[in-house]
């Protein structure tokens, strides 16, 4: 039989990685659905006006969110 994965006791400190990860994923999905995304320095990028910058911004937000959530899971479960 395999071992049961139990969370690490350092769950409170690991939340520091989960919150920005969820925020970045929310920005990426919301930007994809609405056609507008928040670029660095508070600029709004429209998909119709500048598609290349829009998709680069969405990709960076998505990958950043996946990285932060993955690191959170690594810190909690040690996988």
Helix axes 11-34, 51-77, angle to 10 degrees: 160
52 found inside a domain: yes
Where do we find the tokens 């690490």? 8
User: For 8-63, what is each residue's pLDDT tens digit?
Assistant: 556 667 788 899 999 999 999 999 999 999 888 888 999 999 999 999 999 999 99
Return the pLDDT at 8.
55
Range of the domain at 54: 31-79
Of 30, 36, 29, which is closest to residue 54 (Cα–Cα)? 36
78 found inside a domain: yes
Return the pLDDT at 11.
62
Q: What is the pTM of this model?
A: 0.80
CA gap 5, 65 in Å, rounded: 23
45 found inside a domain: yes
Q: What tokens appear for 77 in the block?
A: 């479960």
Report the number of distinct structural domains present in the chain: 1
């Amino acid at each position: 039989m395999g071992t049961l994965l139990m969370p690490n006791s350092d769950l409170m400190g690991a939340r520091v990685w989960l919150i920005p990860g969820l925020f970045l994923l929310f920005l990426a999905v919301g930007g994809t659905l609405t056609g507008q995304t928040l670029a660095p320095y508070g600029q709004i990028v429209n998909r119709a006006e500048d598609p290349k910058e829009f998709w680069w911004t969405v990709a960076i937000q998505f990958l950043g969110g996946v990285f932060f959530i993955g690191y959170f899971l690594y810190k909690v479960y040690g996988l």
